[in-house]
Structure 1
Amino acid sequence: MFFDTETTGLNCRRNQIIELAMITVVDGKIVDSYDEFVKCDFSLPYKITKLTGIDDETLDEKGLDEKQVAFDLKAQLQDDALMIAHNAQFDLSFIYFLLLRHFPDEADDLVKKMDWLDTLTVLKDRKKYPHKLIDAVDHYGIEKVNFHRAIDDTKALYNVYKKLKEERDDLSEYINVFGFNPKYGISGKRFEFINYKSQSFHNFMVDEDNILPKK
């Protein structure tokens, strides 16, 4: 499952999700998609509206209650699913605290039972800096979307994943391995089921014996 979030800020403990998008892929075909805004009980910061195009009126008119989105997310977290995001540490941290607020006794088990793949970690082993999703789209010649909207980012992410897999089929090596910038350390919540590894930038595609999971 490919997923992405838009949030009110960068702190997973204090801020919250305002849009959650998920695309379910089975045997290479999109079989289900989910994209919902999430109501807030406060006004969005101007910089978030400017970045995402999401404003208070949109959330008031189209947003679901956070509890409903948490129930929807929980229903999607199946034992055999692989959760894929670009900068997955960020999105995993936010959905964890979303679940924790509404399922405090289940949140840890819900995220621990899943496998997680971070395409940002893969990309850092494939191309030179920078490594944002839009950079991956440019690098692989993928059609651009409305970035910073969760559903569009998720669609772009799926296309990036396919290009990464075509380029070199070693993505399974990266499951539950998250690279982090040694200058800044690990952001968000540290999860015991994720293998965190310090990852420096490369100016080239590293050979298969030197990818981060093998270090």
Structure 2
Amino acid sequence: MFTIKIIFFDTETSGLDCSCCKIIELAMLTVENGIIVDTYDEFIDIGEFISPKISQLTGITNNMIQNEGIDEETVAYDLKERLTANTLMVAHNCQFDLQFVYSLLKRHFPDDADYIVSNLNWIDTVSVLKDRKDYPHKLIDAVKYYGIGEVNFHRAIDDAKALYQVAVAMKNERDDLSEYINIFGYNPKFGVSGIKFPFIEYKRQPYHNRGLLPQERCLPRR
């Protein structure tokens, strides 16, 4: 179904701002030629306590991080090994996850981080979903919309697996995902959040209530 290397990934973080917060769980599902070839899911011991609010939101506790987490440097090397040039990276609300992945790499490979992320391709499935269905557009909404089976949303790897199924359903619904590569939609009311990457084209994408838009009105063609 897919003929290139694709990594479906998800992050859980200690907060919303990548300049002062860090990834506490990273999951990656690598697919080559439609076959899952690698599954990666690690808690990351960031050397600081996470707040009760973050634990409530993510289901990740300080005990889980301290007892099961690995050091961030190891994760950075794992990322560098997997993020080979031209790999297609897919995430739901990719702008958020991309910022945190970039910030992690920048801390450990300051001379290489920009090169690594700019030589990848990126798809934001939220941007795709906004052209397919009415608000809301969370991953759980996509799962329900496409009739995907029960998903455990308490772990990042389960989100990555669900995202893979969502992407397959999107491709079957309308085979235009490649048009969204390196194009991220943003709500014009709030603008682009955080780092603006030069290799991403940011386009205004207000909410609508017209369901599946005709292709000529979809984000890549606006």
TM over 0.5: yes
Counterparts of 1:7 and 1:148 in 2: how far apart (Å)? 13
Partner of 2:219: 212
What's the CA shift string for 1:74-121, capped at 9, x where partnerless?
Answer: 111111310000000000000000000000011100000000001000
Partner of 1:19: 25
Partner of 1:130: 136
1:47 aligned to which of 48, 53, 64: 53
Partner of 1:202: 208
Counterparts of 1:178 and 1:205 in 2: how far apart (Å)? 18
What is the letter of the counterpart of residue 103 of structure 1? F
User: For this pair of structures, how many residues does the alignment match?
Assistant: 215
Is residue 2:119 matched to residue 1:105?
no
Counterparts of 2:215 and 2:112 in 1: how far apart (Å)? 38
Partner of 1:169: 175
Query: What's the CA shift for 1:148?
Result: 4.6
What is the letter of the counterpart of residue 46 of structure 1? P
Is residue 2:163 matched to residue 1:160?
no
Query: Which runs of no fewer than 5 residues in structure 1 stay unpaired?
Result: none
CA contact (8 A) 1:125 1:212 kept: yes
Of the structure 1 ranges 169-178 and 44-53, higher mean CA displacement relative to structure 2 is found in 44-53
Partner of 1:186: 192
Name the TM-score, length of structure 2 as normaliser.
Answer: 0.95
Equivalent residues in 2 for 1:136-151, closer than 5 Å: 136-151=142-157
Query: Which runs of no fewer than 5 residues in structure 2 stay unpaired?
Result: 1-6
What is the letter of the counterpart of residue 193 of structure 2? S
What's the CA shift string for 1:56-88, capped at 9, x where partnerless?
Answer: 111111101001001100111111310000000
Partner of 2:65: 59
Q: Name the Cα RMSD after superposition.
A: 0.8
Query: What's the CA shift for 1:144?
Result: 2.7
Counterparts of 1:154 and 1:202 in 2: how far apart (Å)? 26
Partner of 1:36: 42
Of the structure 1 ranges 137-146 and 153-162, higher mean CA displacement relative to structure 2 is found in 137-146
What's the CA shift string for 1:30-70, capped at 9, x where partnerless?
Answer: 11110000002221110111122111111111101001001
CA contact (8 A) 1:51 1:148 kept: no
What is the letter of the counterpart of residue 51 of structure 1? L
Percent of pairs identical after alignment? 58
Return structure 1 stretches of 4+ with deviation > 6 angstroms. Answer: none
Partner of 2:92: 86
